[in-house]
Amino acid sequence: MTNTGMVYGPIYLVHDTGTHIENAGRLRSIVGLLEKSALKGELVVIDPEAAPVEKVETVHSPEHVAGIRRLCEQGGSWITLDTVVSKASYNVALHAVGGALQGVDLVMRGDLDNAFALVRPPGHHATRHQAMGFCLFNNIAIAARHALSEHKLERVLIVDFDVHHGNGTQEAFWTNPNVLYFSTHEYPFYPGSGAVDEAGAGAAKGATVNVPLPGGCGDAEYLKVFQEVLVPVARRFRPQLILVSAGYDAHWMDNMSLMQVSVQGYAGMVSILKTLAEELCQGRLVLALEGGYHHEALALSVKATFEVLLGKEPSADPLGLAPGREKAPNIDGLLGEVKKTHRLA
């Protein structure tokens, strides 16, 4: 059986967001289901450590980092209309970054085959200078920079299947040809970025691959995108490590989006990612949690993800497919545009 790690600790629960939709109940639901199903016992559980500030500053400005710390020391505050911090949030955010870094280190050293960091706050919207979209520090972007510098990698693939576009991650690697950023997201939707023609610049032209999907897409559409776009671009890029911004807010029960993905759909996407990692980079695959706000759907989707990572057959999905789903949108034209932009056609 695969040696799969779960980075998690109670520190992630003390980022107190009150009644905000991004709250500690998300992780309580996930961990509760993993314990109830006994799946947690099959995982290597890693207690997260705080990342050094210097690591955070490989992606974020010192002013941004100091600003978050200062707000938290003052007791917390709303940073934007959608993003709030409490007194403990700066420390928790350092542990979120640290959890992603530990996943990378353990997989790169061969101590684990793959890993999933169940972190919060999430990260992929955080830009160099700005916290936004519930995100303080960009966990996955910092992890990618760490993999390049500390593990001397030349090619890292980031796959982002959160329903929102990871504008912060895109910004971090816009001109960096060593990181291929691939994103599926509902469009037009928050944060407004992620059009097909946003493809990177300079030496990194083509190293950003955006697939802006219309509302209503479900398992078939997502899996088609993965097979027809992600698989060929990944094979061409030949990553030495695959990192994943794992957001589960495209589930049909999650009211944050109009998407229709099921738990089994997520299992299918993760299965493709695991197969790609085994084919291209010795199975090196590290995920970090992003969105997902319907607690039951989130917990079941994360459980299915762990089952795939472990090499097990995913359990039956009690939620099933979206009831009364209308005719799925036709994405053939979009896929043609993406393939043309990235020379896949």
Q: What is the pLDDT of residue 1?
A: 63
Q: What is the pTM of this model?
A: 0.98
Tokens of 43: 């995982």
DSSP 58-92: TTS-HHHHHHHHHHHHTTEEEEETTEEEETTHHHH
Chain CA centroid to CA 127, Å: 15
DSSP-derived letter for residue 251 is B
CA distance 28 to 26: 6
In this prediction, the residues of the chain whose per-residue pLDDT falls under 70 are 1
Cα maximum dimension of the chain:
54
Tokens of 203: 């030496």
DSSP-derived letter for residue 3 is -
Beta-bridge partner residues of 169: none
Instruction: List Cα–Cα distances, 139 to 2, 75, 320, in angstroms.
Output: 24, 23, 31
Domain extent listing, the chain: 4-341
Q: What is the pLDDT of residue 2?
A: 83
Q: What is the pLDDT of residue 327?
A: 83
Strands 83-86 and 76-80, how do they pair?
antiparallel
With contact defined as beta carbons under 8 Å apart, do 51 and 98 qualify?
yes
Q: What is the pLDDT of residue 343?
A: 97
Q: Which among 97, 94, 163, 91 is positioned nearest to 133, based on CA atoms?
A: 163
Q: What is the pLDDT of residue 88?
A: 98
CA distance 153 to 156: 7
Average pLDDT of the chain to the nearest whole number: 97
Q: Exposed/middle/buried for 36, CB within 10 Å: 0-12, 13-18, 19+?
A: exposed
Backbone phi, psi, residue 186, to 5°: -75, 140
Return the active site residues.
Answer: 125
Helix (H) / strand (E) element for 286: namely strand 285-289
DSSP-derived letter for residue 218 is B
Q: What is the pLDDT of residues 176-211, one digit of tens each?
A: 999 999 999 999 999 999 999 999 999 999 999 999
Q: What is the pLDDT of residues 287-339, one digit of tens each?
A: 999 999 999 999 999 999 999 999 999 999 999 999 877 788 999 999 999 99
With contact defined as beta carbons under 8 Å apart, do 138 and 124 qualify?
yes
Q: What is the pLDDT of residue 132?
A: 98
Of the CA atoms within 13 Å of residue 263, those in its CB half-sphere come to 23
CA distance 21 to 82: 10
In this structure, whether the domain defined by 4-341 belongs to CATH 1.20.120.1200 is answered with no
